[in-house]
DNA sequence: GTTTATATTTAAGCGCGCTTAACTATTAAG
DNA sequence: CTTAATAGTTAAGCGCGCTTAAATATAAAC
């Protein structure tokens, strides 16, 4: 037996993911970015700056692999890699301005279909959606992070 | 200026996608499946059966690439490829039983955090979510398909 | 029945994403 | 101060995901 709540959420996720992912993937391909790369970029964006091994933890790959990925993203001028003055073993990885643009645009690509959805709703329905999703977002933020502290 | 509706949806998508994608990607990696492969499998699942060129259209890649991908998925016994008796140029691609399991489990992986979310809600809130999301899912289904007819 | 269009496959080739193993540089611990 | 731990890089190697170009097989059109 599955709860009515979960059942509703599952249906919602299915239509929702299919639409969001389609734009997302299309845009990523245009920009020649792999899922791993996007995933890393989003992580850096969220943390503002991070280390090589943090990327390894987040993606579940070896340090060697992240180091190589970082190489390629640096070459593409999407991120910059500097030395941590406090511990010179660490590298500090951050998005460039261009990198920020890429992340933001990727997010927007994911959300492009939402204005079409909005146009199907009347004012009362919109209000209802706003109230409910705000509540749900708040609750979701209270959950433990999907993989903390470093991942 | 962005509407309050879109703003709420964006916030929601951000927390929501991050959690759903994390489980999703982790599971895919465990099963040694790439995003392209998952994408193709979901398409076959949704359509029940499809052709090689339909996969090309859906993923935005060449027929040569899909053909090779189909090869590998057939080898892994996740899909089967048979000849269309009505037009022997076509191949009919379908999920095996094992392939169905993989798709279903991947979907479930994506939804694993939802029971945690449910436990943070009281009965009234759950009701509210169910009503709103059912409405929203219905509306979303009315939208033109992200890429029809073949993709 | 020959030509043309459609659906798929094969082969060669490139770059990415990953691994393991070996190495360098820096910091922490005894 | 030597030893051990930590952070990152480099090199070799494998398979995937993609491409273009050429080939094969079937069906449709004239």
Strand partners for B91: B83
What mean pLDDT do residues B129-142 have? 93
> What pLDDT digit, counting tens, does each position of A70-89 carry?
999 999 999 999 999 999 99
Residue pair B39/B73 in contact by the 8 Å Cβ criterion: no
pLDDT of residue B54: 96
* Whether A6 contacts chain B with CB within 8 A: yes
The CATH number of B4-114, from 3.30.565.10, 2.130.10.10, 3.40.50.2300, 1.10.10.10, is 1.10.10.10
B14/A146 Cβ within 8 A: no
Give yes or no for CB of B81 within 7 Å of strand C. Answer: yes
Q: Hey, are the CB atoms on B129 and A26 less than 8 Å from each other?
A: no
Give the Cα separation of A124 and A9 in Å (integer).
22
So what's the ipTM on this one? 0.87
Residues in chain B, total: 151
Element of type H or E holding A95: strand A91-95
State how far the Cα of A138 lies from the Cα of B10, in Å rounded to an integer.
13
CATH of A4-142, one of 3.40.50.150, 1.10.10.10, 3.40.50.300, 2.30.38.10: 1.10.10.10
pLDDT at B147 (0 to 100): 60
A145 in contact with nucleic chain C (CB within 7 A): no
> In the prediction, which pLDDT does A74 show?
96
Residue B90, SS3?
coil
CB of B31 within 8 Å of any CB in chain A? Answer: no
- Helix segments in B31-122, DSSP class H: 35-47, 52-59, 63-75, 97-110, 114-118
The span from the CA of B2 to the CA of A149, in Å, is: 33
| Residue spans of chain A under pLDDT 70 | 146-151
Asked if pLDDT for residue B98 goes beyond 90, the answer is yes
Residue B84 clears pLDDT 70, i.e. is over it: yes
**What residue spans define the domains of chain A?**
4-142
Structure tokens at A112: 């492009």
């Amino acid at each position: 037996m599955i709860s009515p709540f979960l059942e509703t959420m599952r249906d919602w996720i299915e239509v929702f993911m299919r639409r969001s992912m389609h734009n997302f993937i299309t845009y990523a391909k245009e920009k020649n970015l792999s899922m791993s790369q996007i995933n890393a970029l989003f992580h850096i964006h969220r943390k503002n700056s991070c280390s090589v091994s943090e990327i390894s933890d987040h993606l579940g790959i070896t340090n060697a692999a992240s180091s190589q990925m970082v190489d390629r993203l640096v070459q593409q001028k999407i991120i910059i890699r500097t030395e941590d003055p406090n511990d010179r073993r660490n590298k500090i990885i951050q998005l460039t301005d261009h990198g920020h643009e890429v992340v933001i645009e990727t997010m927007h690509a994911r959300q492009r279909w939402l204005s079409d959805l909005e146009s199907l709703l009347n004012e009362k329905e919109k209000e209802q959606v706003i109230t409910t999703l705000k509540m749900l977002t708040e609750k979701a933020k209270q959950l433990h992070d999907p993989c903390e502290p470093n991942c």
